Amino acid sequence: MKVLTVGGGGREHAIVEAFHRAGSEIFAVMKNANPGILDRASKYKLVDETKVDEVCAFAKECGVELAFVGPEAPLAAGLVDALEKIGIKCASPTQAAARIESSKTFMRDLVEKYKIPGNVVYKSFDNAADAKAYIRPLGTKFVVKPVGLTGGKGVKVMGEHMKAIEDADKYIDEIFSGNIGGAGVIIEEKLEGEEFTQMVFCDGKKISPMPLVQDHKRAYDGDMGPNTGGMGSYSEADHLLPFITAEERQKSLDIIQAVIDALAKEGCPYKGVLYGQFMLTVDGPKIIEFNARFGDPEAMNVLSILESNFEDVCKQIADGKLKGDVKFANKATVCKYAVPKGYGTSNVDSGREISFDMENLAKSKAILYYANINKVENTLITGSSRTAAMVGVANSTDEAEWNSEVGLSCINCDYIFVRHDIGKASLIRKRVDHMARLRGQ
């Protein structure tokens, strides 16, 4: 089929590779000239992906039959609605269904309305004074979030990113005065536990689960530093994670199915990939957030071991008829991102030349996914977001971690950094011990 892909990051390069393996002909729109996507596309257009009219015009001109949208911004801008209007099938959610991500208040209210388990205590505010009054009695047991989209960087946790109540006041003021996320503030109960990502494919009614993945949001080794879009992630050969039981995982799938049922009842059935981010607490999985798309980096873990034909899966989703379970290899994966120096702060180094030792990379067992890189003539230039990801796939997590590191050693650039602890046995042990401690074991 002629397929339109939207987005130019590492996640989208992984999506494009999955379509390529399925035999699709690829037409791509993206902001940056991602060299991996350029190589696979019959035709591409460099454009802001939220420019719905321009994306639709390109799709029509190329005669695409099926579209898949990578990032959240074009979903929130109504790209799927517009593509469907001109007769192009989509394996991504409409604007109304994507509110599950684009409005944290919509998500929390929906979960509450349908009495779905896993919710937190929360309250939304349209002014700073009321939000500040509300947090006064909460001590350190709260988090502050902008209601709208912030690229995964908007959440501040009391006791971690904010030390004193005055820091929280200041952040609330910043959100309103700077219009961060666009739609006010939500204060949530602070959860304690281990985070995990459960993504599913969904055809509007039925879901098919992907392997569990654990992302690493903090910028530096040892879970230090600011929150980022995600520095890297791992998944295990049994598709679970070492700190979670199969029953606990099933609870998160039940929550996701209940959310899908609720969206259908609300008149906005959900088609596409739904991303559930959970905190595994001593009381079971609790909802941190939902995303209306693949996670980045999590997409690179799961798509690297996808065994089903991705085009078939997407076509079935678009047609509302997912047939059977989507299949993944029983392999462990470790994904580590190289990111520009300063990434996660307001002072990011970008615009630097980067190159890859392709000869040694080809000999390694690492899979390279290009991310926020711009190919200008024959030179690759870093952007201000995550640069490139290396994924190791193997029978064990240790081996997958090693493969990813070998890949990273093939990058030539002095202006990037990596969280080397991701996927290492010592860090995974820390996660398992943390959960055991909370369970009183």
Please choose, out of 15-23, 25-33, 131-139, 151-159, the segment that lies near ligand AMP by the rule CB under 6 A. Answer: 151-159
Q: Give the x/- contact pattern for ligand AMP in 240-279, rule: CB under 6 A.
A: -------------------------------------x--
Binding residues for ligand AMP, rule CB under 6 A, total: 15
Rounded to a whole number of angstroms, the minimum distance from the CB of residue 396 to ligand AMP is 26
Distance, CA of 284 to CA of 117 (rounded, Å): 10
Q: Are strands 232-235 and 214-215 parallel, antiparallel or unpaired?
A: antiparallel
Tell me which of ligand AMP, ligand GLY, none is bound by residue 386, counting a contact when its beta carbon lies within the kind-specific cut-off of 5 to 8 angstroms. none
Please choose, out of 189-197, 204-212, 360-368, 386-394, the segment that lies near ligand AMP by the rule CB under 6 A. Answer: 189-197
Tell me which of ligand GLY, ligand AMP, none is bound by residue 191, counting a contact when its beta carbon lies within the kind-specific cut-off of 5 to 8 angstroms. ligand AMP
Tell me which of ligand AMP, ligand GLY, none is bound by residue 295, counting a contact when its beta carbon lies within the kind-specific cut-off of 5 to 8 angstroms. ligand GLY
DSSP, collapsed to helix, strand or coil, labels residue 82 as helix
Tell me which of ligand AMP, ligand GLY, none is bound by residue 230, counting a contact when its beta carbon lies within the kind-specific cut-off of 5 to 8 angstroms. ligand GLY
DSSP, collapsed to helix, strand or coil, labels residue 363 as helix
288 near ligand AMP (CB under 6 A): yes
223 near ligand AMP (CB under 6 A): no
Distance, CA of 341 to CA of 418 (rounded, Å): 9
Nearest by Cα to 35 from 356, 294, 334: 356
Residue 57: which region, alpha, beta or left (left: phi > 0; alpha: psi -120 to 50)?
alpha
For ligand AMP, the closer of residues 104 and 336 by Cβ is 104
H helices within 97-177, ranges in order? 99-102, 104-113, 128-135, 165-177
For ligand GLY, the closer of residues 361 and 428 by Cβ is 428
CB 441 within 8 A of CB 407: no
Rounded to a whole number of angstroms, the minimum distance from the CB of residue 365 to ligand AMP is 29
431 near ligand AMP (CB under 6 A): no
Token pair of 250 as six digits: 């099933």
Residue ranges in contact with ligand GLY by CB under 6 A: 152, 215, 230, 291, 295-296, 298
Distance, CA of 143 to CA of 131 (rounded, Å): 12
311 near ligand AMP (CB under 6 A): no
Tell me which of ligand GLY, ligand AMP, none is bound by residue 155, counting a contact when its beta carbon lies within the kind-specific cut-off of 5 to 8 angstroms. ligand AMP
Tell me which of ligand AMP, ligand GLY, none is bound by residue 195, counting a contact when its beta carbon lies within the kind-specific cut-off of 5 to 8 angstroms. ligand AMP
Distance set, CA 60 to CA 228, 245, 249 (Å): 36, 47, 41
H helices within 22-127, ranges in order? 35-40, 52-62, 72-76, 79-85, 99-102, 104-113
143 near ligand AMP (CB under 6 A): yes
